[in-house]
């Protein structure tokens, strides 16, 4: 009886160990399938590296045929696939991106310089927690290495119009500096807010030439709800 009991106990222990091993293998496989590179790390990877990133879609630039994603570390623009919705590309959704890095990082151009090719985009259930928008001024508009990281800007609206694709274009200014703002889905007639002080949340993109000279500062804003009036225009 004692031998039989010992064999039963040994069998139970071995069974538990075997089950734990299977669970460990399954968990390792799940972890391997769900591993991803922080977006900021793309600048350090060698050319021809296969990259796996996950991020929240923060802007869809239909005319430019690209979209932006951001994770906890950085933001990056990516080529827009033919069927964006089927790939899960909706503002606020999380996507997994597999691609190949084909160029070295250039700090004058930001993460767009790494040039990802063979891009495959799929919906993801991964939890990506974005940092709160960073308050900045027009005088300290982020440099290219910060392109795509959401910011909050307060300035005076000086001009506004819509293009033939329905996007709103604004010019905001503060102490001699100005920035172009593009709102993909406008919510109102912004020409009626000229000379008002507004607060707006969007994605900065600073463009510099090959020698590092500033070409343009632009703020990409996904929707009109990202704009709030802080102070109405003077009556006179």
DSSP single-letter state for residue 48: T
- Which pLDDT tens digit goes with each residue over 155-195? 999 999 999 999 999 999 998 889 999 999 999 999 999 99
99 burial type by CB count under 10 A (0-12 exposed, 13-18 middle, 19+ buried): buried
- Which pLDDT tens digit goes with each residue over 64-120? 999 999 999 999 999 999 889 889 999 999 999 999 999 999 999 999 999 999 999
Count of Cβ atoms closer than 10 Å to residue 25 Cβ: 10
pTM: 0.83
Nearest to 133 by CA among 31, 221, 7: 221
């Amino acid at each position: 009886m004692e031998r039989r009991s010992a064999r039963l106990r040994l069998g139970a222990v071995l069974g538990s160990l075997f089950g734990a091993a299977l669970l460990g293998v399954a968990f390792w496989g799940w972890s391997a399938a769900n591993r991803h590179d922080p977006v900021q790390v793309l600048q350090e990877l060698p050319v021809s590296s296969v990259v796996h990133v996950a991020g929240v879609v923060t802007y869809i630039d239909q005319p430019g045929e690209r979209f932006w994603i951001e994770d906890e570390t950085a933001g990056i623009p990516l080529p827009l696939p033919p069927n964006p919705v089927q790939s899960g590309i909706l503002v606020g959704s999380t996507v997994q991106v597999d691609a190949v890095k084909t160029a070295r990082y250039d700090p004058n151009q930001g993460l767009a310089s790494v040039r990802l090719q063979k891009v495959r985009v799929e919906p993801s259930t991964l939890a990506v927690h974005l940092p709160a928008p960073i308050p900045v001024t027009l005088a300290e508009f982020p440099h290219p290495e910060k392109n795509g990281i959401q910011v909050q800007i307060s300035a005076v609206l000086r001009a506004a119009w819509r293009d033939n694709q329905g996007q709103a274009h604004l010019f905001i200014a503060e102490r001699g500096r100005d920035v172009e703002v593009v709102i993909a889905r406008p919510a109102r007639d912004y020409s009626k807010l000229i000379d008002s002080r507004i607060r707006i949340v969007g994605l900065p993109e600073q463009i510099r030439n090959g020698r590092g000279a500033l070409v343009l500062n632009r703020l990409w804003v996904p929707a009109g709800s990202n704009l709030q009036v802080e102070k109405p225009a003077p009556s006179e």
